[in-house]
């Protein structure tokens, strides 16, 4: 079995001592001292350092084919581009600057490109019930029930609010009570929302996915949700003062709403972000696979076209 050596251009194993690479067609300059292969433009041997500027290499004598994909006509003259790009010179990998493990994980470079998928994001618009808009991945039926209950409860609350304001206007503590409810709800829900907001932000950075909405949209949705549920709490205050069955029922509803504000809504929002990022990563990987497949098949297609043209000319 004949000895082999790596081509200095494409690094594939070729027969030792040959003047040209059979894979990329590049001319090879051999050192007269150690017989190591070097590039044609090398001034010194890469193995022993000997001056090889005086050594000349042969030029390639390739017969250009008349391929329809590489020929254009101008008047009666034919212009042939030879060699076709990418046929004899392999595609070099794109230069990628060195990144630390932290930069690869979180993408802290300022010029980091982010992938923007074609997936609909449920929180793209600001609304009073913005956080109730997106679907829960496990059950769309449950989501519809929750949304219907929320809208129905909002209509009932509006009617009760009109009645309750009439009683509360006779008291001078209405504005402090409203401020206390809004502030208290904000303080209680802030830790849970903060965990969601920070986790969501780093989730997009870790997978290098472009966030579909701005942070201000998320914050406005959060603020509107706080105001909405605070109004419901305000409506339930005079009803809770009554020692009746209805007061107990509304007290249970109030507990459910507070639980939803504190835990369910931030958790639901984070689950939606997880589903969005997962779908975006799958879409990005599929696009990369398609592009790589096209790049791999392109040189092979050019070779097949050249072979067909040669057969036709014969």
Contact yes or no for 14/5 (Cβ under 8 A)? yes
Write out the DSSP string of the chain.
---EEE-TTT--EEETT-SB-TTT--BEEE-TTT--EEETT-SB-TTT--B-TT---PPP-------GGGEEEETTEEEE-SSPTTTSSPPPPPP-----HHHHHH---TT---B--SPPPTTSS--TTGGGSSPPTT-HHHHHHHHHHHHHHHHHHHHHHHHHHHHHTTSTTHHHHHHHHHHHHHHHHHHHHHHHHHHHHHHHHHTTB--SS-HHHHHHHHHHHHHHHHHHHHHHHHHHTS-SHHHHHHHHHHHHHHHIIIIIHHHHHHHHHHHHHHHHHHHHHHHHHHHHHHHHHHHHHHHHHHHHHHHHH-
The percent of residues above 70 in pLDDT, for the chain, comes to 46
**For residue range 31-71, what is the model confidence (pLDDT) as tens digits?**
888 888 888 788 888 788 788 877 777 655 445 445 544 45
pLDDT over 50 (residue 159): no
Q: Which residues pair with 39 in a beta bridge?
A: 28
Residue 224 is predicted with a pLDDT of 81
Least reliable range by pLDDT among 126-135, 140-149, 211-220, 268-277: 140-149
The percent of residues above 90 in pLDDT, for the chain, comes to 0
Which residue has better confidence, 209 or 115?
209
Report the pLDDT averaged over residues 275-300.
80
Residues 6+ apart with CB under 8 A from 223: none
Highest mean pLDDT among 21-30, 56-65, 81-90, 189-198: 21-30
Report the pLDDT averaged over residues 192-211.
80
pLDDT over 60 (residue 209): yes
Residue 137 is predicted with a pLDDT of 41
Residue 134 is predicted with a pLDDT of 52
pLDDT over 70 (residue 210): yes
Q: How confident is the model at residue 226 (pLDDT cuts 50, 70, 90)?
A: confident
Least reliable range by pLDDT among 222-226, 254-258, 290-294: 254-258
Report the pLDDT averaged over residues 157-165.
51
Residue 3 is predicted with a pLDDT of 80
**For residue range 243-253, what is the model confidence (pLDDT) as tens digits?**
777 777 777 77
pTM, entire model? 0.39
Which is it for strands 13-15 and 4-6: parallel, antiparallel or unpaired? Answer: antiparallel
Contact yes or no for 45/31 (Cβ under 8 A)? yes
Mean pLDDT (the chain) is 68
pLDDT over 60 (residue 124): yes
pLDDT over 70 (residue 184): no
pLDDT over 50 (residue 174): yes
Highest mean pLDDT among 26-35, 180-189, 192-201: 26-35
Q: Could you tell me if residue 126 is left (phi over 0), alpha (psi between -120 and 50 degrees) or otherwise beta?
A: beta
Q: Which residues pair with 37 in a beta bridge?
A: 30
pLDDT over 80 (residue 279): yes
Report the pLDDT averaged over residues 82-92.
50
Report the pLDDT averaged over residues 272-294.
84
Report the pLDDT averaged over residues 3-15.
83
Residue 114 is predicted with a pLDDT of 66
Residue 136 is predicted with a pLDDT of 42
């Amino acid at each position: 079995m004949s000895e082999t050596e790596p081509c200095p251009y494409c690094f594939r194993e070729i027969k030792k001592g040959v003047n040209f690479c059979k894979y990329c067609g590049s001319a090879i300059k051999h050192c007269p001292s150690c017989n190591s292969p070097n590039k044609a433009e090398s001034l010194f041997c890469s193995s022993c350092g000997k001056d090889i500027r005086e050594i000349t290499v042969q030029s390639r004598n390739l017969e250009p084919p008349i391929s329809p994909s590489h020929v254009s006509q101008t008047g009666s003259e034919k212009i042939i581009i030879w060699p076709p790009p990418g046929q004899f010179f392999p595609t070099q990998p794109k230069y990628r600057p060195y990144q630390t493990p932290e930069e690869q994980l979180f993408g802290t470079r300022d010029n980091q490109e982010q992938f923007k998928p074609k997936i609909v994001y449920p929180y793209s618009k600001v609304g009073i019930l913005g956080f109730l808009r997106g679907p829960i991945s496990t059950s769309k039926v449950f989501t519809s029930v929750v949304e219907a209950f929320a809208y129905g409860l909002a209509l009932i609350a509006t009617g009760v609010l009109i009645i309750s304001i009439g009683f509360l206007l006779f008291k001078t503590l209405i504005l402090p009570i409203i401020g206390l409810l809004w502030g208290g709800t904000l303080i209680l829900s802030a830790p849970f929302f903060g965990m969601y907001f920070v986790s969501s932000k780093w989730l997009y950075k870790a997978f290098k996915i472009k966030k579909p909405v701005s942070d201000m949209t998320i914050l406005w949705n959060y603020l509107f949700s706080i105001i909405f549920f605070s109004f419901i709490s305000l409506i339930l205050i005079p009803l809770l003062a009554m020692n009746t069955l209805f007061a107990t029922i509304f007290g249970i509803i109030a507990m459910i709403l507070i639980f939803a504000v504190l835990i369910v809504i931030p958790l639901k929002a984070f689950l939606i972000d997880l589903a969005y990022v997962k779908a975006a990563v799958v879409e990005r990987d599929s696009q990369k696979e398609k592009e790589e497949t096209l790049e791999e098949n392109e040189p092979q297609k050019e070779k097949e076209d050249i072979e067909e043209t040669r057969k036709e000319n014969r």
